[in-house]
Amino acid sequence: MKNLFSIPNRLLHTGLVCLVAIGTILPVAAQRTMPSSFEDDYIFWGYPNAYLNYQSKTGFPLINRMLQANPPAVEMNQHRKFALITLDQFLHDADCQRRDAFYPFINTRMEEMLAGIDQPVLSGVRIYKLYNSGFILKTLKTTIAVDVVPGGSTNKSFLTDSVIFEVADRCDALLITNADGKHANRNVANAFVDMGKKVILPEGMWTDMEEFLTPVGADTTEIVQLGAMTLYVLPGHKNNAKNNIYVMNFHGRGVVAHTGAQENDADWAWIDDIHNKYNIDILLTKSQNINMESMLAGFRPRMVITGHENDIESAVDRRESYWTTQKRMKSLSSLAIPNVILTWGESYNYADTSSPNISSSATKVMMKGALYIERKGSIYSPTGRKLK
């Protein structure tokens, strides 16, 4: 038997060696002659990877401009819809995060968020979307971060350290729903702790740094007072792991719930009934929810904002796209719950005066050449600090 296969085996072996050698030599040779720039003639023959790199360098800035010109709204216009669909295409290139333009794109969007986040919120709550399920909720008095993670690898995170620092600097507290790295990150928590900010997270997480954190979330609802906001911690689960569902009452500024990575059939017993206990304005929930309809029926919010789209660390079939969110929400239109789709760095100001949770708005006033906020006879700094 051995003899029968010896010649073909040898041929196969030799062939394989040759193929490996060719496969090694060719790219090296190509690499050597690759032009330093393609911008003299835009001819990419022989360099498909460089071609796709340039394509993303063209695509991402155009998407950015289109999104800026068409900000988030309940009734999404065609241009915005198209920008998001195009973004899906670029982000579903399996190598998208290795394209030169990816980091500049996400960083530009974060810089834009930081440039606008200091603007006072005169009425209701402004919701910023960060990477994955990360959100920042800002009212006149309070700024809360939920599930903020940098994304990417430890060596090269999508959100830079300076962005995380700036976020932590502007927020009063960080809420973490569950231990999954897509929702929780130690470096982010440390940034908050270093600034003396509260970090609220499920019990049993990061016990080695427990003295700096505030673990909450047993089997019953807990209430935590965070400045002008009351936090209700509901005992959710992702399979068997704890997943705190946070209901944040900003007293006169809206009530917002974040469901983290909620996924547990046993919890439906109480989730189905949440709307009888809480009057939710905005539900922040993951886009890839098989039970989205039940989730919406349980919370009955006045508005839905989805998170977790285009989780780049997941395989492409699990990188939920903006177009699937659009389709999914459209398929649930009978529930008559409006939705707003945000991408990284975007914000939406919720101030629905028909909601009983929105009580009053503030006004900007100029005093001695400086901007202040006046509300119910009190004067606040633009960042919400009460002055008199």
Q: 104-129: buried (b, 16+ CB within 10 Å) or exposed (e) per residue?
A: ebbbbbbebbbeebeebbbbbbbbbb
CB closer to other proteins, 277 vs 318: 318
- 144 — phi, psi (to 5°)? -120, 135
For other proteins, the binding residue among 53, 76, 83, 193 (CB under 8 A) is 83
- Provide the mask over 5-34, with x wherever binding to other proteins is found by CB under 8 A and - wherever it is not: x-----------------------------
The site that binds other proteins (CB under 8 A) totals a number of residues, namely: 47
From the list 83-91, 100-108, 122-130, 183-191, the region that binds other proteins by CB under 8 A is 83-91
79 binding other proteins? (CB under 8 A): yes
Member of 244, 288, 343, 355 binding other proteins (CB under 8 A): 288
Question: For other proteins, which is the closer residue by CB, 46 or 204?
Answer: 46
H or E segment and range at residue 261: none
Cα(280)–Cα(382) distance, integer angstroms: 27
Query: 86 or 133: whose CB is closer to other proteins?
Result: 86
Binding residue for other proteins (CB under 8 A) from 22, 316, 365, 387? 316
Residues between 34 and 73 that touch other proteins (CB under 8 A) = 39-48, 51-52, 55, 58-59, 62-63, 65-66, 69
Q: Helix %, strand %, coil % for the chain, to 5?
A: 40, 25, 40
**324 alpha-carbon distance from chain centroid:** 16
Q: How far is the CB of 117 from other proteins (least distance, A)?
A: 26
Q: Is 181:150 a contact under the CB 8 Å cutoff?
A: no
Alpha helices in the chain (DSSP H): 2-33, 48-69, 78-91, 102-117, 161-170, 186-194, 268-271, 274-277, 292-299, 322-331
With contacts defined by CB under 8 A, name the span among 115-123, 132-140, 244-252, 318-326 that binds other proteins.
Answer: 318-326
> Is 97 a residue that touches other proteins (CB under 8 A)?
no
Residues 6+ apart with CB under 8 A from 299: 257, 259, 271, 274, 275, 278, 280, 283, 285
* Contact with other proteins (CB under 8 A) among 106, 125, 184, 292: 292
- Would you say 26 or 387 has its CB closer to other proteins? 26
For the chain, counts of helices (H) and of strands (E)? 10, 17
Pick left, alpha or beta for residue 372 (phi over 0 → left; psi -120 to 50 → alpha; otherwise beta): beta
In the complex, minimum distance from the CB of residue 140 to other proteins, in angstroms, rounded to a whole number: 35
Cβ contact 80:64 at 8 Å = no
Nearer to other proteins, 58 or 360 (CB): 58
Dihedral pair phi/psi, residue 159, rounded to 5°: -95, 125
Q: Which region among 179-187, 205-213, 268-276, 321-329 touches other proteins (by CB under 8 A)?
A: 321-329
The residue behind tokens 């509300």 is 375
- Interface residues with other proteins (CB under 8 A) are 1, 5, 39-48, 51-52, 55, 58-59, 62-63, 65-66, 69, 78-79, 81-83, 85-86, 88-90, 92-93, 288, 290, 292, 315-318, 321, 323-324, 327-328, 331
